[in-house]
Amino acid sequence: MEAMLRCTPCLALRFGSKLRLAVVVLQIVLLFTWLEATNAQSQEIILGGQGPERSSENIVSHSCIHDQILKQRRRPGRKVYTVTPQVYEASGISKPLHQKGRALLGISKQSVLQKDAKLPIRIYLNYDAVGHSPDRDCRNVGDIVKLGEPPIGYLSGSPSCNPRGDPPISGDCWYNCTLDDIAGKDKRQRLRKALGQTADWFRRALAVEPVRGNLRLSGYSACGQDGGVQLPREYVEEGVAEADLVLLVTTRPTTGNTLAWAVACERDQWGRAIAGHVNVAPRHLTAEAETLLSATLIHEVMHVLGFDPHAFAHFRDERKRRRSQVTEQVMDEKLGRMVTRVVLPRVVMHSRYHYAAFSENFTGLELEDGGGRGTSGSHWEKRLLMNEIMTGSVDTRSVVSKMTLALLEDSGWYNANYSMADNLDWGRNQGTEFVTSPCNVWKGAYHCNTTQLSGCTYNREAEGYCPIVSYSGDLPQWARYFPQANKGGQSSLADYCTYFVAYSDGSCTDTNSARPPDRMLGEVRGSNSRCMASSLVRSGFVRGSMTQGNGCYQHRCVNNSLEVAVDGMWKVCPEAGGQIQFPGFNGELICPAYHELCGTGIVPATGQCPNSCNLNGDCVEGRCHCFLGFHGSDCSKRSCPSYCSGRGNCLSNGICECRNGYTGIDCSTAVCDEQCSLHGGVCDDGVCEFRCSDYAGYSCQNSTMLHSSLNVCKDVLENVKSGAGQHCAPSEPSILQQLEDVVVMPNYHRLFPGGARKLFSIFGTSYCDMTAKQLACWISIQKCDKDGDNRLRVCYSACQSYNSACGASLDCSDQTLFSSKDEVEGQCTGSSEMKTSWASSVLSWFSSNDSSRGMSVKNRQL
C-alpha cells in the first residue's frame, strides 16, 4: 500500500507530461492540416487562372452537328460529294457485275434468276491524316488552329471559338489548344480501339453488294470537312482492296459537347457512300467517355452510310430505281406545325409494330424539326424515339432500333440484320395517338405537369421528377402546354414535352440506390424491381411528408398474371391494374396493368371480345375490328402486305415468301434476268430499263457540251451522224475524263487487244481500230432518247460492223446491251455500215484462239 501511495505522484507527473506532449502533437497536426488546405486552395486558384479545363466538363451526351458540317460543304466552289462508278460482283455466280449498261459481256443463257447477293460490309479505316494538319490539329498547348473556315484578316485568331458566349461561336472560328486537345499515343490507341469496334458492329449489322476487285476513289477533291483529307495517291491509281467503304480519320478539336462528326464524300453510281471523313475530338478519348464515344461513333457512321437527307435523294427501291418518295412534308393540324415524316415501307412497318400504331392515320415516322442547323431534318424526332441512337443527342443509354436499321435497308444498298437492334422501350405499344398527337395529351408516365410530385419513369425502372423550365422568352405556339407561354420541358429536341426524368439515385433496378426508408416502406431494389405508385408504410410508422408517392417493388409474371411482393409477401395484381393491400402495412399499392410489365398481354376491352382482340384491334359490340396487319376472329393472325399480291405465300409472322421471279415485301415486283443488272439496267416490274437519271451524278447532256471534257471519244461524238442530240454522261467534267480512263480505254483494249493491233499494223489497216474505238465510246457514253431520260442501247449494226472489221465474235444478240436488228438510227446509239477488212479473215482465226483473253470480250468488265 505504501509503495502504491509513493507511486501515485509519479504516475500523475508522467500523465501530465504525456498530456502536454499530445497537445503539442495535436497542434503540429492541425498546423500541417491548415497548411495543406491552404496549399490546396492556392493550387485551385492557380488552376482556375489558367482558364476553363475542358477535360473537367462532365459530358453526359453527344450533340450532333451533322447538318452544320454539310452546310459548310455546300459553300460556293465546294462539292458535297463526288461520284465514282464501281464494279460489283454478280449475284450468286462467279461472273462480274457491271455498272451503267456499258459492259461487254456474254452471260450464259442458262443463268438462273437469283436475288442480289450481299455480304457483310467491309469498312476500311485510314489513320494517315491523324495529327498531320498543322493548321487544324493541336500539337502543342497554346496552338491556334482552325475550326471550319474562319476569316483570315488582319486580326489573327479572331473570332475565337466560344460555344458559351453571347452569341455562341462554335464554328468558323480560331481554337486555342489545351493539353487535352493533343492526340498522344494513349488517345490514338483508344481511337483505333473505338473505331475498330464500330466497324465490327456494322459488319455484323449490315450486308452490302460487294465491290469487285479494288474500291476505286476519284481523289478529285479533299474528302470531308474542316479542311478535309487528301486521298492517298494509291487509292486513286490502284484502289483499296477488300473494302466497300473507306473512312478517313482525323483528330481535330471540337467545341461544346460534340464528341465527333462524320460525312460522306464519295458515292458510287447507285448513290451509296464509298468514302467518308470521320473526326473524333481528342479531349473525349478518355476512359470516362468510352461508352458514350462508342454510341457516338455508331451514330456518326450511320450518317455516312445513309441517314442523311442528302442521301435520301439516291435511295433505291427493289427494282434499283430511285425511290419516288422517301419523306413527306405536311401541315399537321393536331401538332399545329409542319412536320416531315419518313414514309419508307420497312420504316413504316417496324414503326407500326413498335408503337402498335395500326390505324391508317399513321403514315410515317417523324424527323427532328428542332435543334437548329446541326440537327434538324437528319435525325429521328426525339419526342417519339427519346433514347434512340439516331435522335439529335446521344448518351450512354442510347439504343439502335429496328426503325433505324429499316431506314438503311430501305435505301436499297444494304440488307439489315435486325437481331442487332436493341429494345427501345419509349413509346412501345402506346398506340396511334401517341405518335400522332401532341405530348400534353399523353397518358401515364409519359406526361407530367407539376414539379411538386414525383412519379415513375415511362419504363418503371426508376423514380423520377418532373422538370419544368421557365425560359427567358416565349416558346413556339405549338409547344405551349401551360398557361405561361415561357414554361415547358427541358428539351427542345423533345418538343418541350414534360415527362418524368429519373432521379440520380432513383433507380429501382440498381441495388446501390437503396435508401434507409426502403424497409419501412416495404421497398426492395434489384433487377426485378419496378416503380409503382404507393402509399404503403409499415404499421406503427408514419409516412413522412418528404416521402414520395411511389416506390420500388419486386415483380414477376407467372401464369398470365402480374405478381408484386412487399416484405417478401407476393400478391396477384388485377389484370387491368388497381389497388392492393398487404398485411402489416398501412396504405395501398397501385398495380400497373398486366401488359405494362409482362409483355404484350391482354388489354381488357368492353363487349367481351375473344381474347380482347389480343391488343390488335378494337372491340365493338363483341366483335373484333382488326388493325391493319392483323386478321382473324380475335385479331391474333398476322396479315401480309397486300396478301403477297397473289405471288407468294403468307407466313405466320406476316412475312411474304415470294415465288420465283418476284420480290418485295408484298411480292409485287417482278424480277428481271440477271443480265439486266449485270449491264447496269434497272428492272421495272420485270422489264429491263436503262435510265440515265438512275445513276448518281449522271444526266442527259447536249453532245457539244461534252466535247471539251473528252479526249478519246471527242471525234466519235463530234460525228453528226452518231453524236447528235444528247448523251448520258457524268455531270462533273473531271469524272467524265476519268470515265474515259477507267471505262472507255479498258473496253477499247478488250475490243482491240495488243496482239491484234500488232497484227493489223503489219497489214497496214486501221479500220478495225476505228470500229473498236467507236464501239467502246458508244457502249460507255450512250445516247439519250428524245424525252431525255432513257439511255439507248448500242445499235446492232455497230456490233456487226465491229465483228466484220475485226473478225471478232461479239454476241450482238444480247439485247441488254445491243438493240434489235430492226431498230434504226434514232432508236439506238451509233450505227455503222458493214465493211470487211481483207485482213479480218486472218484476225478471225487469231480471235478464236484469243477469245479467252478478251477478243470476244466475254465476262469482262467495262
Backbone angles phi, psi at 703, to 5 degrees: -60, -40
- Over the chain (862 residues), the average pLDDT of each successive run of 10 is 40 46 46 39 29 48 80 55 73 33 36 59 96 91 90 72 80 91 95 97 95 83 78 86 96 91 91 94 93 95 95 87 90 91 94 90 91 74 96 92 97 95 92 93 89 89 93 94 94 93 92 88 93 93 73 92 94 94 95 82 50 71 73 80 84 81 78 62 69 72 81 77 70 72 79 70 70 87 81 86 84 78 78 53 49 36 33
488/468 Cα distance (integer angstroms): 6
Q: How far from 426 is each of 86, 456, 804, 862, CA to CA, in Å?
A: 41, 13, 69, 50
Task: Collapse the DSSP code of 353 into the 3-class scheme (helix H, G, I; strand E, B; otherwise coil) and give the result.
Answer: helix
> Pick the catalytic residue: 89, 300, 318, 461?
300
The fold for domain 319-507 equals: Leishmanolysin; domain 2 (3.90.132)
Q: How far from 660 is each of 39, 489, 682, CA to CA, in Å?
A: 81, 53, 18
782 neighbors 794 (Cβ within 8 angstroms): yes
Tell me the one-letter amino acid at 122.
R
Q: Which among 247, 257, 258 is positioned nearest to 224, based on CA atoms?
A: 247
Backbone angles phi, psi at 322, to 5 degrees: -60, 135
pLDDT of amino acid 451:
86
Full DSSP string of 764-783: T--HHHHHHHHHHHHHHSPB
Cell 465483228 sits at which residue? 803
Cβ-based neighbour number of residue 36 at 10 Å: 10
Is-catalytic flag, 300? yes
Containing H/E element for 798?
helix 796-806
Tell me the one-letter amino acid at 183.
A
772 neighbors 837 (Cβ within 8 angstroms): no
Q: What does the domain layout of the chain look like in residue ranges? A: 116-305, 319-507, 641-670, 681-853
CA 330 to chain centre: 24
720/142 Cα distance (integer angstroms): 65
319/731 Cα distance (integer angstroms): 24
Residues 6+ apart with CB under 8 A from 788: 692, 700, 726
Provide the pairing of β-strand 245-250 with 273-280: parallel
What crossing angle do the helices spanning 402-410 and 345-355 adopt, rounded to 10°?
A: 170
Provide the pairing of β-strand 393-395 with 61-63: antiparallel
825 neighbors 795 (Cβ within 8 angstroms): yes
88 neighbors 288 (Cβ within 8 angstroms): no
Containing H/E element for 173?
strand 173-176
Burial 417-439 (b: 16+ CB within 10 A, else e): eeeebeebebbbbbbbbbbbebb
Longest dimension (CA), the chain: 148
Backbone angles phi, psi at 669, to 5 degrees: -105, 120
Residues 6+ apart with CB under 8 A from 4: none
pLDDT of amino acid 67:
73
Cβ-based neighbour number of residue 114 at 10 Å: 13
759 neighbors 838 (Cβ within 8 angstroms): no
Containing H/E element for 730?
strand 726-730
Query: Does 299 show up as a binding residue in the annotation?
Result: yes
518 neighbors 474 (Cβ within 8 angstroms): no
Strand order in the sheet with 578-580: 569-572, 561-566, 550-558, 529-534, 589-591, 578-580
Phi/psi zone of residue 399: left (φ > 0), alpha (ψ -120 to 50 degrees), beta? beta
DSSP-assigned letter for residue 721: H
pLDDT of amino acid 417:
95
Phi/psi zone of residue 21: left (φ > 0), alpha (ψ -120 to 50 degrees), beta? alpha
587 neighbors 535 (Cβ within 8 angstroms): yes
602 neighbors 611 (Cβ within 8 angstroms): yes
Task: For the chain, report the end-to-end CA distance as a whole number of angstroms.
Answer: 120
Per-residue pLDDT tens for 457-500? 999 999 999 999 999 999 999 999 999 999 999 999 999 999 99
Q: How far from 682 is each of 184, 667, 678, CA to CA, in Å?
A: 50, 17, 10
Tell me the one-letter amino acid at 589.
L
No. of H helices and E strands in the chain?
A: 22, 42
The fold for domain 116-305 equals: Elastase; domain 1 (3.10.170)
Query: Does 379 show up as a binding residue in the annotation?
Result: yes
Cell numbers standing for residue 48: 482556375
- What class is the 641-670 domain? mainly beta
SS3 letters across 556-578:
EEECCEEEEEECCEEEECCCCCE
Tell me the one-letter amino acid at 780.
S
Q: Is 20 exposed, middle or buried (0-12, 13-18, 19+ CB in 10 A)?
A: exposed
615 neighbors 602 (Cβ within 8 angstroms): yes
188/712 Cα distance (integer angstroms): 47
pLDDT of amino acid 535:
92
Phi/psi zone of residue 751: left (φ > 0), alpha (ψ -120 to 50 degrees), beta? alpha
681/102 Cα distance (integer angstroms): 10
Between CA 35 and CA 42, with CA 36 as vertex, the angle to 5 degrees is: 90
